Amino acid sequence: SDIGLQRDRVVTEEEWLHKWEMGDIGFHKEQRHPLLQQYLDVLLNGRSGLRIFFPLCGKAVEMKWLADLGHSVVGVEVSEEALKEFFAEHSLPYSEEPVPEIPGAKVLQSTSGDISLYCCSIYDLSSSIVGQFDAVWDRGALVAVNPCDRQRYVSLMITLMDKNSSYLLVTVSYDPNKHKGPPFYVPESEIKSLFG
């Protein structure tokens, strides 16, 4: 699959942090994503009280919505600012704890206990730290991951998924020679080869 000029593109953690600091977050949506609303039944598959993972969560409004529906939400995001904005914008009290297994990382947890957001690189997480999940909502993670890191990302995601897990993935389709990304173009053929 040809992803054009994007093949060697790398966006650093510092660049993502700078986007949050500068408010350059056009990728953040103030409303629930229509595809999550449309396919929620597919994601839940008749189950309630699920553990749902939000990779590269930012301050996604869907986290509170799903927690309000009775699910347990776990997210990961490198920007502490994004996570604090999430709790502030939803008027949710929270506590902060260090994550002993990851130097410098912390977890921000709602006092109700149904939302836990890890502030660290996603690649520092493992199932021994966060457990496994019944569902994954990947609205902007795979398309934000550097093309050279996709295999590493998907390998991690597979280890975080319970055997009956549902994975709802949103990608974007466009000519990768006309836009440097992110969001990066991920052809369907590559999604199939990555996830099997």
CA distance 166 to 42: 8
Domain spans in the chain, listed from the N-terminal domain onward = 13-195
pLDDT at position 188 over 80: yes
Q: Binding site annotation covers 102?
A: no
CB atoms within 10 A of CB 39: 15
Rounded-to-integer distance, Cα 20 and Cα 80, Å: 9
Tell me the pLDDT tens digit for each residue of 113-148. Answer: 999 999 999 999 999 999 999 999 999 999 999 999
Known binder of ligand: residue 115?
no
104 is in an annotated binding site: no
Residue 77 among known ligand-binding residues? yes
25 annotated as ligand-binding? yes
CA dihedral 160, 162, 166, 172 (to 10 degrees): 20
Residue 26 annotated as part of some ligand binding site: yes
70 is in an annotated binding site: no
Q: Per the annotation, does 17 bind a ligand?
A: yes
Share of the chain above pLDDT 90, in %: 90
Rounded-to-integer distance, Cα 105 and Cα 118, Å: 7
Residue 29 labeled ligand binder: no
In this predicted structure, what is the pLDDT of residue 4?
A: 73
pLDDT digits 0-9 by tens, 154-164: 999 999 999 99
As a whole number, mean pLDDT of residues 40-68 equals 97
Written as one string, the DSSP assignment of 74-118 is EEEES-HHHHHHHHHHTT--EEEEE-TTSTT-EEEEETTSSEEEE
CATH architecture of 13-195: 3-Layer(aba) Sandwich (3.40)
Q: Is 131 marked as binding a ligand? A: no
The whole-number pLDDT of residue 2 equals 64
Cβ contact 122:102 at 8 Å: no
| pLDDT class of 7 with cuts at 50, 70, 90 | confident
Would you say residue 8 has pLDDT above 90?
A: no
Give mean pLDDT, residues 37-64.
97
Q: What is the mean pLDDT of residues 64-69?
A: 98
Tell me if 139 is assigned to a ligand binding site.
Answer: yes
Least confident of 3-7, 18-22, 42-46, 155-159: 3-7
State residue 59's pLDDT score: 98
Kind of pairing, strands 133-138 and 161-169? Answer: parallel
